[in-house]
Amino acid sequence: MDLLQLLLGVMSGVLVGFTLGLVGGGGSILAVPLMVYVVGVDNPHVAIGTSALAVAANAAMNLGNHSRRGNVRWDCAAVFAAAGVIGAYGGSTLGKAIDGQKLLLLFALLMLVVGALMLRGRGAGGNADVRLDRRTAPRLAGFGGLAGALSGFFGIGGGFLIVPGLIAATRMPMLLAIGSSLVAVTAFGLTTALNYARSGLIDWTLAGVFVGGGLLGGLFGASLATRLSRSRGALNLVFAGLIFAVALYMLVRSTRALLGS
């Protein structure tokens, strides 16, 4: 990897971290297209494996902040993550076996779904005293397994799936769901990254600079988010538009590559 690619890797990490800090869930979905189309990673599988490791590292750092603020329900998050790890391993194994360009095409379609979900409002209600019990445990396991499978297959954090999954299973408030989701994002990302690493599909240097850039961008994004809190709906709209644009670009590029082959 040359100096220009390292520089582009840092800048891409800053952009992902910035969007995560600014608008929350969904920002990490930009990691794979940035690695492929900006940094210039030729192998889509390497981009996915490296992205999974970077997302896991960023989620772990943010988890510490949410934990100190009491925003993590560890018992519920543990069940969700444990079931999801099994799904993530299966999903990432299947993802490695699929042609890289076909995987990028499916990834682009997923981005369209994420963009649509970004346009939906987020409620603030819920039961803050939720605890793990016989009713919530099976729901958490079910939603966790599905979210983990998709996370592993595409090499993404999956927060846009995990947060609503936690809410649907337990009725916990949005803030607790966001904090608790980081347990699963970390676990899913590490599982996917380790699976890809076994096949030599991770660029460790790129992962390092991407994480460093993400940490810096996250600080700026979080700071700006506080100032623009009243404009959160507009920010989500702008970011959803960005996701749609990137998804359409990926659809065109991957379709041309498949037809060319």
- Looking at the predicted structure, is the pLDDT value of residue 245 above 70? yes
| Residue 23 pLDDT | 66
Instruction: Kindly tell me if the per-residue pLDDT of 93 is higher than 90.
Output: yes
- Choose the weakest-confidence range: 39-43, 120-124, 138-142, 180-184: 120-124
Once rounded to an integer, what is the mean pLDDT over residues 89-114?
91
* pLDDT value at 261 more than 70: no
pLDDT reading at 192 higher than 80 = yes
The pTM (predicted TM-score) of the whole model is 0.85
CA distance 137 to 144: 10
Average pLDDT of the chain to the nearest whole number: 86
